[in-house]
């Protein structure tokens, strides 16, 4: 922005769900007149499902008292939205701490609760397309390992295509959310462990033992497919070397440059069978990429 250019107030964020735009306006009006909501509020997060189920997280630089709950309860009814108040070592919930979303794959519905503070796919319409594409392109083997599983957006559909799923993530909140989503969808063939990707692969190769795996027999799995949906930075060298042992790699990427580097690293043992590009955030330069690699 040039300092001398005319300034124009921004009142809408067009790429967001219409409900988010409405809630932003309603919340701003409330913040202006309500000291309890406004006092030391420094961050606001909005989450809305495609059907309009809504959650607002309000993050503060102060301890929240019972007065905040009373005020937030009135506001929640007024704007028909769940509210979560967070500050250091404190979380207060008015309503629910999640929104409910339905994903559709091959005409089958999957119900998921998208929990606050857990990563979830921000565009459910594109997520449907990604899921449909993946399950049309992969070959179905016995068991699948999923790293960075989150709350189960991919885990639960995977459980209908493979005999067993071993799903791991190092986030306590995500693992808790995953357990709830498995229960909702009656998915009984998924085993869970709270481990990072590197820890999971280290345990599978027998390099290291973890107390968190004490009730899980890793030798009972026939894992020849691995599903990875890593952070924007991509996969680390250790993970890349270890997943070379899998016959099929399903790679979902939100970082195109890191994906390119990782594919180059895997090219000595695997070849790209197919690739899908998805417009996750319209009107931006972001591309969500999905690659299927098979062992040479």
Enzyme catalytic residues: 254, 288
Distance CA 43, CA 89 (A): 16
SS3 for 194? coil
Helix 18-33, helix 66-79: angle, nearest 10: 140
C-beta of residue 71 within 8 angstroms of C-beta of residue 92: no
Query: How many Å separate Cα 27 from the centre of its chain?
Result: 26
Phi, psi dihedral angles at 77 (to 5 degrees): -70, -35
Parallel, antiparallel or unpaired: strands 288-295 and 41-48:
unpaired
Instruction: Look at the block and give the residue holding tokens 């998208």.
Output: 114
Distance CA 136, CA 126 (A): 15
C-beta of residue 72 within 8 angstroms of C-beta of residue 116: no
Write the CA distances from 102 to 33, 55, 96, 253, integer angstroms.
Answer: 36, 16, 17, 22
C-beta of residue 155 within 8 angstroms of C-beta of residue 149: yes
Distance CA 140, CA 261 (A): 27
Parallel, antiparallel or unpaired: strands 190-193 and 164-168:
parallel
C-beta of residue 247 within 8 angstroms of C-beta of residue 295: yes
């Amino acid at each position: 922005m040039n300092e001398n250019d005319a300034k124009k107030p921004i009142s809408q964020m067009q790429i967001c769900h219409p409900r988010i735009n409405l809630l932003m306006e309603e919340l701003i009006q409330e913040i202006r007149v309500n000291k309890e909501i406004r006092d030391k509020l420094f961050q606001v997060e909005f989450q809305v499902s495609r059907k309009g189920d809504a959650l607002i997280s309000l993050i503060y630089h102060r301890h929240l008292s019972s007065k905040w709950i009373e005020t937030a309860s009135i506001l929640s009814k007024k704007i028909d939205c769940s509210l979560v108040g967070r500050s250091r070592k404190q979380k207060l919930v008015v309503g629910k701490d999640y929104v409910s979303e339905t994903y559709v794959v091959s005409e089958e519905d999957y119900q998921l609760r998208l929990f606050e503070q857990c990563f979830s796919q921000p565009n459910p319409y594109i997520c449907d397309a990604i899921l449909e594409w993946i399950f049309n392109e992969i070959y179905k083997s016995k068991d699948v390992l999923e790293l960075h599983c989150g709350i189960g957006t991919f885990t639960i559909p995977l459980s209908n295509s493979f005999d067993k799923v071993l799903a791991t993530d190092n986030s306590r909140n995500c693992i808790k959310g995953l357990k709830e989503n498995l229960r909702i969808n009656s998915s009984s063939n998924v085993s869970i462990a709270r481990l990072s990707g590197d820890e999971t692969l280290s345990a599978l190769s027998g390099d290291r033992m973890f107390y968190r795996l004490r009730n899980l027999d890793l030798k009972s799995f026939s894992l020849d497919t691995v599903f990875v949906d890593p952070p924007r930075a991509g996969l680390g060298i250790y993970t890349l070397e270890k997943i070379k042992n899998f016959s099929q790699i399903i790679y979902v990427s939100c970082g195109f440059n890191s994906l390119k580097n990782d594919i180059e690293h895997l090219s000595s043992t695997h070849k790209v069978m197919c690739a899908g590009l998805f417009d996750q955030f319209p009107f931006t330069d972001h591309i969500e990429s999905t690659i299927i690699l098979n062992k040479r």
